[in-house]
Amino acid sequence: MRDNIISEKDVMQNQTAHPAKIAARNVQVYYGDTHAIKDVNVDIEANTVTAFIGPSGCGKSTFLRCINRMNDTIDVCRVEGDIRIDGEDIYDRKVDPVQLRAKVGMVFQKPNPFPKSIYDNVAYGPRIHGLARNKAELDDIVEKALRRGAIWNEVKDRLHAPGTGLSGGQQQRLCIARAVATEPEVLLMDEPCSALDPIATAQVEELIDELRQSYSVVIVTHSMQQAARVSQKTAFFHLGNLVEFGETDKIFTAPEDPRTESYITGRIG
């Protein structure tokens, strides 16, 4: 018995030692008859920020939502292929998407705090997953999450004020705090700054860079400057294909594919 546990642990360690946190192979996504994602292969590393860029409708958000199976909520959507997190197939029949989403947090395009207090917004995840045994522990988790969301100092005096009363940028950082409160390993961000002004955007970007220490962050963005600023790896999607994937510096300075070059230089998109 004991040996088994140890060997399992070894396997785990081997897997986490593997650079790819998320490995996608031959992923196809269909919306009804539309083939939205075509044969995408990508390896996303731990403790890196990976940016997905590309013109509207290229499938980058769709692919992002495959990673925590948010596409399951769309009836007509069908995913084929293989996405593994730490070597485990997340589309395996035994995987409960609810458990997966606790491990893979998500921040959405529009800040969407619950119409509850700031405290309850952050405490909701830990509560439903039973992460805190008592009120004091929950308080700690909430404080830690709000600190990580770089919003603690602004809201610590009004934790019981409604989350919807914050400014747009604060709301988005609150949503990030809410997402990290459940201790995820991967953080997916779907255009997190598109509804924010430049100052709020700068704050969120700074935060993303800090979050890299603890999480593997995947961010979809329309802004190439943002991708260049925050990410280490960049993937360029075009018409459902992953055209190019590599180090951000390289994508922006010496793209291999002519389509990437056209997009980056502003000729398409």
Interface residues with other proteins (CB under 8 A) are 68, 70, 73, 75, 98-99, 101-102, 105-108, 110, 112-115, 124-125, 128-129, 164, 175, 178-179, 181-182
Strand 216-220 relative to strand 186-190, pairing: parallel
Q: Token pair for residue 56? A: 């509207």
In this complex, which beta carbon is closest to other proteins, that of residue 113 or of residue 169? 113
| Cβ nearer to other proteins, comparing 73 with 213 | 73
Backbone phi, psi, residue 222, to 5°: -90, -15
Find residue 30's DSSP bridge partners: 35, 78
CB of residue 234 vs other proteins: minimum separation in angstroms?
Answer: 24
Whose Cβ is closer to other proteins: residue 60's or residue 178's?
178
Tell me the closest approach of the beta carbon of residue 149 to other proteins, in angstroms: 13
Please list, in sequence order, all residues whose beta carbon lies within 8 angstroms of the beta carbon of residue 128, skipping any fewer than 6 positions away. Answer: none
Nearest distance from C-beta of residue 138 to other proteins, angstroms: 14
Q: How far is the C-alpha of 60 from the C-alpha of 58, rounded, in Å?
A: 6
Nearer to other proteins, 129 or 147 (CB): 129
Q: 35 is written with which tokens?
A: 């083939």
Rounded to whole angstroms, how far apart are CA atoms 64 and 190?
A: 7
* Residue 210 Cβ vs other proteins, minimum distance, rounded to whole Å: 20
Strands 88-89 and 34-45: unpaired
Q: Which residue, 128 or 268, has its beta carbon nearer to other proteins?
A: 128
User: 16-52: string of b/e by CB count within 10 Å (b at 16+)?
Assistant: eeeebbbbbeebebeeeeeebbeebebbbebebbbbb
Task: Identify which of residues 19 and 115 has a Cβ nearer to other proteins in the complex.
Answer: 115
Q: Residue 86 carries which side chain, given as an amino acid letter? A: D
**Cβ at position 96, least distance to other proteins in Å:** 9
CB of 34 to other proteins, least distance (A): 17
E strand residue ranges, 108-173: none
Query: What tokens does 140 get?
Result: 């700690």
> In terms of CB distance, is 112 or 232 closer to other proteins?
112
Contact 27, 83 (CB under 8 A): yes
Task: Give every CB contact of residue 1 below 8 A, 6+ residues apart in sequence.
Answer: none
- Report in angstroms how near the CB of residue 180 gets to other proteins at its nearest: 10
